[in-house]
Amino acid sequence: MSTAQCFNCDIVHQDVEMRSFDWDMRPRQKDLSRGHTGGLTTFEVDLCPHCYSQVEDQSVSGWDWWDAFDVLSSHFTYEQS
Ligand SMILES: [Zn+2]
């Protein structure tokens, strides 16, 4: 049995899994000039079931992983405590 850490809430749990999202990779102008073309690919991040349930219908865009995670993280909701 293996455990992983949720990238959003930092919980470590056996149900944390690698989740995949459609990623519309959009190169920046300077990347285009280097020959990168972008396109539809897959964005992967470790998330717990609770966090994943908030974003499972989302897709992301952006040029690099952090850019894409920014888009995804804007869809997380947090309960008021
Ligand atoms: Zn989580």
Query: What residue spans define the domains of the chain?
Result: 4-73
Instruction: Give the per-residue pLDDT at 5.
Output: 97
Ligand 1 center–CA 5 separation, angstroms: 8
Protein residues near ligand 1, an ion, with CB under 5 A:
6, 8-9, 48, 51
Name residues of the chain where pLDDT drops below 70: 1, 78-81
User: b or e along 9-21 (b: 16 or more beta carbons within 10 Å of the residue's beta carbon)?
Assistant: eeeeeeebeebeb
The pTM (predicted TM-score) of the whole model is 0.84
| Confidence at residue 77, expressed as pLDDT on a 0 to 100 scale | 83
